[in-house]
């Protein structure tokens, strides 16, 4: 998508469609059915205010968020169409809502065969923040997952003009950075969207290597022999059941002039298909388990964005990629595995495999010199029980590390919620035959999974992101298609840039 910044008067801009945000200035903010909304366009151009006035006062527009109204050949405007998209309450409107409004506009227009449009950055949000939100949201809205439909329509927006006033140099820089973020988020979604026969561990490694070559990262890929040589017994225990060879993907970003410390380690779970192994999952919904590599895809996409944005900090991305399959070679409940760190693990449930590959990934990151760690994984169904499909779960062993991440997360506009890591939970992962078990049982499952990982992060400042409920959109939304979301990319990039 080509992005252009224009300081033009919106009404004088020639475009296929001009998009303007509508906000409700009533106290109810569109939530009270009995109270009439006070709708105004978030644009100072009198011509646009005049064109929209009759429609906004007609009672046909409710002012509820994401409501779209398209006007053809609006008089006094150079645009062929005027799309009014409601942003809800003016009092609550922020860059978070604007990002979704931009996605809504893209999806509304491209469904009509429109390939380019202009978006008026709304008043009330600083120009740079508004432009970032619009560009990021537009990219999210432009993605569709129906790759393999023979009747697929090639619907996408090719060009977006953003009408924004202010320091044009700063605004254009913000747009360029946001485009990197948006494209990297869609790169993640592209990886996650592929079915497992077209996204094996080998193919995932090839995609990571190709991306690394394009953006200047160093990328090394290791196979089964190296994994066994390095005594990654936890990782190998999952991989041993599949005919597909595993891949340990290591991407390194080390810019000139970066200090020796910190070194940030981004570790991702790359289970390209998860049957559950011998502890096999129910058949219903198993087809979605192609998305179990979303944490790994997130780290690959994050490394892409980091390489292009060039912060002055060393970052190492590690993805442990394998399938989790039942076979005559697969590990069994009751087996004991020895992780790279030397810890012994009693396997209670072979479907608790993500924490096994991450255990060796986290320890290996420390061996490579990482001083701060973040992992991302579609780790537990328990986090969905706790937080639903709205918030990702965040765990941290260090408050300063969490505060850094929380600040980055707020700036990025992604919903996440911190969950506890109290020592009492450690009792649930004690084994009578080994050091720890790989499953602490039903209660507090997201927490006990994090406690397991904490054993391998040890004292290294560490963040764990459980994205099982947020990495896949369960239904179509006005701003995003059903399917992979690309969650955590924006927060991770902001977090890394914060160290620079």
Given the residues 290, 355, 404, 497, select the one marked as catalytic.
Answer: 355
Active site residue 115: no
List the catalytic residue out of 281, 310, 477, 482: 281
Let me know if 40 is a catalytic residue.
Answer: no
What CA–CA distance (Å, rounded) separates 351 from 349? 5
Residues forming the active site? 281, 355
């Amino acid at each position: 998508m080509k992005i252009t910044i224009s300081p033009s008067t919106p009404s004088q801009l020639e475009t296929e469609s001009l998009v303007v945000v509508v906000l409700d200035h009533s106290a109810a903010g569109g939530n009270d059915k009995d109270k009439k909304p006070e709708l105004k366009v978030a644009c100072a151009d009198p011509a646009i205010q005049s064109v929209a006035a009759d429609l906004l006062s007609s009672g046909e527009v409710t002012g509820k968020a994401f409501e779209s109204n398209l006007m053809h050949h609006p008089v006094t405007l150079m645009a062929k169409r005027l799309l009014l998209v409601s942003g809800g309450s003016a009092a609550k409107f922020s860059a978070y809502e604007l990002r979704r409004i931009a996605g809504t506009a893209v999806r509304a227009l491209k469904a009509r065969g429109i390939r380019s449009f202009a978006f008026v950055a709304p008043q009330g949000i600083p120009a740079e923040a508004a432009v970032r939100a619009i560009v990021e949201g537009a990219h999210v809205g432009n993605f569709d997952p129906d790759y393999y439909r023979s009747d697929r329509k090639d619907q996408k927006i090719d060009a977006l003009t953003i009408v924004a006033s202010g320091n044009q140099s700063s605004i254009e820089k913000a747009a360029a950075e946001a485009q990197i973020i948006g494209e990297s988020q869609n790169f993640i979604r592209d990886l996650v969207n592929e079915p497992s026969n077209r996204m094996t561990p080998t193919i995932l490694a090839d995609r990571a290597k190709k991306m690394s070559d394009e953006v200047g990262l160093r990328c090394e890929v290791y196979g089964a022999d190296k994994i066994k040589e390095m005594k990654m017994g936890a990782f190998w225990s999952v991989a041993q059941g599949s005919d597909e060879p595993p891949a340990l993907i290591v991407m390194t970003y080390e810019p000139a002039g970066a200090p020796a410390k910190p070194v940030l380690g981004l570790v991702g779970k790359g289970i390209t298909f998860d049957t559950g192994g011998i502890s096999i999952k129910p058949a219903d919904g198993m087809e979605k388990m192609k998305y179990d590599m979303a944490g790994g895809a997130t780290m690959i996409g994050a490394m892409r964005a980091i390489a292009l944005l060039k912060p002055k900090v060393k970052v190492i991305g590690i993805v442990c990629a394998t399938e989790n399959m039942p076979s005559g070679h697969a590990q069994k409940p009751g087996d004991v595995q020895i992780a790279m760190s030397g810890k012994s693990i009693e396997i209670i449930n072979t479907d608790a495999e993500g924490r096994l590959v991450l255990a060796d990934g986290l320890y290996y990151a420390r061996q490579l010199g990482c001083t701060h760690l973040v992992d991302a994984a579609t780790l537990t169904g328990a986090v969905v029980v706790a937080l639903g499909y709205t918030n990702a779960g965040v765990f941290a062993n260090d408050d300063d590390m969490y505060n850094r991440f929380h600040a980055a997360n707020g700036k990025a506009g992604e919903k996440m919620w911190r969950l506890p890591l109290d020592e009492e939970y450690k009792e649930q992962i004690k084994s009578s035959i080994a050091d720890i078990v790989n499953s602490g049982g039903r209660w507090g499952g997201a927490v006990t999974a994090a406690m397991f990982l904490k054993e391998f992060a040890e004292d290294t400042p560490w963040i764990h992101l459980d994205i099982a409920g947020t990495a896949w959109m369960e239904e179509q939304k006005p701003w995003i298609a059903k399917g992979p979301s690309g969650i955590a990319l924006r927060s991770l990039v902001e977090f890394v840039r914060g160290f620079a």
